[in-house]
Structure formats: C-alpha cells, structure tokens
Amino acid sequence: MNRKTLEVAVVLVIVVSLAISPVIYGWGEEGHRYVNRVAVENLPGDVPAFLRNASARLAFLGPEPDRWGDSMETYYALRGVNGPDHFIDIDNPETFQAIPDDRYKYSEWLRARGQDPKTVGFLPYAILEGYERVQVLFRMWRDPQRAADRGQIEQNVIYYAGVLGHYVADGSNPLHTTVHYNGWTTSWNPDLFTREQLHSRFESEYVRAKIQPSDFSAMVKPAQQLPDPFYAVIRYLLESYGQVPQLYKLDKVARWDANNSNPESKQFVAARLAAASQMLTDLWYTAWLGSANVRPPRPHQ
C-alpha cells in the first residue's frame, strides 16, 4: 500500500468511527420533556405569564440539544462542540469544589493539571451560561429598546429557558457526572459493579417504560430564589455524583431496563428527575428576580 492510499484509508476509518460513535443522551426524549413540564408548573405567579403558559413549548425544547447530535451532518463541528457540554467527570469532589466560574479559566485550570477539558466536560458552564442568557433576556423584556420587540424577546426567553432545562436535567443524571458513565471503567471495583454498558437502558429505556411526570411532580416545591446560582449548581452536581454508587447497586438488584419493576429503582429515578425540575424552576425564578437588578451581584470574583 503506497503512502497516498494509506492516508485515504486512515481518513475513511476516522470518518466512519465518528459516524457510528454513540451519542450519550441525558434522560432520553421523555425524561427531558417531563423535567421541563414539571418545572414550569412550579413557577410563582409573579413570573410573566408568557413563560408560565408555555408548558408545551418548554417541554418540546427539553431534548433540543440532543437533537444537535444528528450524525447525518457532513462535518463533526456541531457534535464536537456540543458534546462536552452534557457532562462533567467529577470523580474528585475536593478538586471539583475549587473550579472557577468561567469556562475558559476552567479550561486553563484543567490543562495546568494535565487534563483535557473536552474529556472532563463543561456541564457546569452550560448551566451557568444558560441561566445568564435567560436573565439577560428577562432584563431586555422588562425595558425593551423597542416596545414592538417585546413579543420577539418573549420567544427568545422561552427558547433559552427550555434549552437550559436540558443541561440542568443532564446534571441530575449521576451517569453524567462520572467517568463510569456507561459501565464501571476502572480497575478499582470492590463492589463488583457491572462493566456492561448501562447508560441508555437506565436513562432512556427504563424512563420510557416506567416513569410519568406524576411519579415525581409532587416532590417539587414552588420555585425559590437561589442566593448564589453558581454555588447551587456545583452543589447540585456534587449531590448527583454522590448517587453514582447507588445507581450501580440498584442495577445489581434489578437490571436497569424496561422490565425493571423494583419499587426502589422507581423511587431513585423519580427523585433524580424531581431534583432536576427543582433546580430548573429555581434557576428560572432566580433569573427573573435578578433581571430587575441593573448590575446583578457577582459573588465569584
């Protein structure tokens, strides 16, 4: 084989591998819709009616970022830039608690420690940036430069609020906070957790077969303002990460799939989805209240 033929073969292998590589989703179509739907039901009456009345649109937008992973595109650009926003490999909580509140500072921080940011993930920043987009748009809505634009701003608020819901829901899935996102991957495995792939059968197959919004809606309280949204996001992700061992233990009791009828498994998933809806409705409400400030406080300098 000459050099040119070899180069072509290598390129073909890379293209094919990218086309068939699995895309890891957060909760599947149903779970993401449910999280957004329950979140909007818990918004207080002082939130503008255009958002409180947008339940159907917000639910539709829950899975939106996963739709950007369409493997039919000619280039890998969109999947490549979007993929790392869906997860964060914590696996060292003490270090994770020290991360900065800026995507690029975080990237530099990781590289200084010999880690690749794209491999570790950007989920906290996808949530934080999404929250700030909604707050900026709420501020524009309160005092638009052109009154005729208010309807357009409302549509943007709904869209970005719905997309924010996707990343918040990803953060409630323990498998989106660990290197063990699709089976136990490291040599240290004293509890003999499964090394079989379980990501899609947990978050999609099981949820589609066994979960409805009514299973967790009563667990979500009316929205409250978050005094420090970035801290709240970090604490939320750490709590989710803390559920990784329990998720794997439950798989040993009853396999995560559509045939799983274990009540404890259902309670576990319902609690995680409720945590997502709670965080989302709190972030939406905090963005609304914060938009009244000309210069909102920035706790992390």
93-138 tens-digit pLDDT: 988 889 999 999 999 999 999 999 999 999 999 999 999 999 999 9
- What is the residue range of 162's domain? 26-290
Distance of alpha carbon 67 from alpha carbon 17, whole angstroms: 20
Question: Looking at the chain, how many residues does it have?
Answer: 301
Q: Is the pLDDT of residue 14 over 90?
A: no
Q: Which two tokens stand for residue 110?
A: 């990781």
Inside any domain, residue 269 = yes
Question: How high is the pLDDT of residue 77?
Answer: 87
Inside any domain, residue 31 = yes
Q: Which two tokens stand for residue 193?
A: 């957790």
Amino acid at 7: E
Within 8 A by CB and 6+ apart from 227, the residues are: none
Inside any domain, residue 131 = yes
Stretch 244-272: mean pLDDT: 98
Confidence of residue 190 (pLDDT cuts 50, 70, 90): very high
Stretch 143-153: mean pLDDT: 94
For the chain, how many helices (H) and strands (E)? 16, 0
Are the C-beta atoms of residues 250 and 261 closer than 8 Å to each other?
A: no
Give the least confident one: 46-50, 72-76, 83-87.
Answer: 72-76
Stretch 179-194: mean pLDDT: 96
Question: Buried (b) or exposed (e) across 271-286, using 16+ Cβ within 10 A?
Answer: ebbbbbbbbbbbbbbb
Question: How high is the pLDDT of residue 294?
Answer: 65
Q: How many domains does the chain have?
A: 1
Within 8 A by CB and 6+ apart from 67, the residues are: none
Span 22-59, pLDDT tens digits: 455 678 899 999 999 999 999 999 999 999 999 999 99
Distance of alpha carbon 200 from alpha carbon 209, whole angstroms: 13
Inside any domain, residue 1 = no
- The CATH number covering residue 219 comes to 1.10.575.10
Confidence of residue 79 (pLDDT cuts 50, 70, 90): confident
Are the C-beta atoms of residues 269 and 206 closer than 8 Å to each other?
A: yes
**% of the chain surpassing 70 pLDDT:** 89
Q: Kind and range of the H or E element at 245?
A: helix 244-253
Q: What angle do CA 155, 160, 162 make, to 5 degrees?
A: 95
Q: Is the pLDDT of residue 70 over 90?
A: no
The predicted model scores a pTM of 0.88
Span 282-295, pLDDT tens digits: 999 999 999 998 65
Inside any domain, residue 17 = no
Stretch 261-285: mean pLDDT: 98
Amino acid at 90: I
Span 207-243, pLDDT tens digits: 999 999 999 999 999 999 999 999 999 999 999 999 9
Rounded to 10 deg, the angle between the 123-142 and 150-172 helix axes is 160
**3-state SS string over 37-51?**
HHHHHCCCCCCCHHH
Inside any domain, residue 36 = yes
Q: Is the pLDDT of residue 195 over 70?
A: yes
Inside any domain, residue 175 = yes
Question: How high is the pLDDT of residue 7?
Answer: 44
Question: How high is the pLDDT of residue 35?
Answer: 98
Inside any domain, residue 21 = no
Neighbouring C-beta atoms of residue 151, cutoff 10 Å:
11
